[in-house]
Amino acid sequence: MADRSQSPEGTSGAVIMPRHVAIIMDGNGRWAAERGLPRTLGHRSGVDAVRRTVQAAIDLKIPYITLYSFSSENWSRPQGEIDDLMGLMKRFIRCDLAELHQNNVRVMVIGERDNIDTEMKALIDEACELTRQNTRLTLVIAFNYGARGEITRATRRIAEDVAAGRLLPADITSEHITNALDTGGVPDPELLIRTSGERRLSNFLLWQCAYTEFVFLDAYWPDFGRELLLEAITQYRARERRFGGLARRSTA
C-alpha cells in the first residue's frame, strides 16, 4: 500500500492535505503595537484571521483544525485585556455560529469550564450542541486550555475508573489516556503551526503532538490566512515522517 503521508498527490492527482492542523495563534499584540494601535484592535483583527483560516480549511478539505484561543495562563494578563478577549469569544459565537452551522462545521471547545462565567458556558454549550452532528470540518477551539491541566483531568478520570473497579491499573494503556483527554475522538495533529516567530508549544496539546510536524512562521496572527496556511502545508509535505523508524531507501 502506498504511504500517502509521503506522497504529494493521491491517485486522483489532488494535493494531499494533513488531516488535522493545530495552530497557536500568536502575535496579535505585537501586530497592533507595530501599527501604533491598542492591543484590543490586534485581538479583533485576529478574529478576522480565524474566519479566513476556517474558510481556507473548508476549501482545502482539511477535516480537523484546532485553534489555541485562550490559555489557562492567559488569566495573568491585565483584566481589561481579559475582558476584551472574553467579549470577542462571545461575539464570535453569537455572530458566526449560524454560518458555521450552515457550512456543516462542528464546533468543539476543549479546556477547563469551572472558572468561566455562566453566559460563556451557555454559549459554548449551545455552539457544541447545535453543530455536533456536522461533518464537513471539526473546529476545535482550545479555550481556557492548558495541556498539563488536560492531562491531569484525564488522569483523574482513569483513576476514578480504577477506584470503581472498572479498570485494572495493569490494563491502562496509552489509548486509555488518549480517549480520556479533552480531545478524545479527535485524531492527533499532523501539523502544528505557530505564528509570530516564537518557537515553543506553550502548554498546548503536549500529549497529542508526540509525532506532529512543527512549522514556525514569522508572520503575526492577524496576517494569517489561506496563503500562509498553504505555505505551512508545503513545508509539512516536504518532510519525511518516520515515526521513530528509518528513512525509506530510494528505489531509483
Q: Residue 196 and residue 205: Cα distance in Å, rounded?
A: 19
- Which long-range contacts (C-beta less than 8 Å, at least 24 apart) are formed by 196-202? 196/26, 196/27, 196/30, 196/220, 196/221, 197/27, 198/24, 198/26, 201/24, 201/147, 202/24, 202/68, 202/71, 202/73
188 assigned to active site: no
Q: Which of 3, 26, 161, 223 is catalytic?
A: 26
Q: Which of 59, 74, 114, 203 is catalytic?
A: 74
Q: How many residues does the chain have?
A: 252
Q: Residue 252 and residue 239: Cα distance in Å, rounded?
A: 19
- Sign of the CA dihedral 124, 126, 129, 132? negative
Q: How many CA atoms lie within 13 A of 205 on its CB side?
A: 33
Terminal Cα distance for the chain, rounded: 18
74 assigned to active site: yes
What residues act catalytically? 26, 74
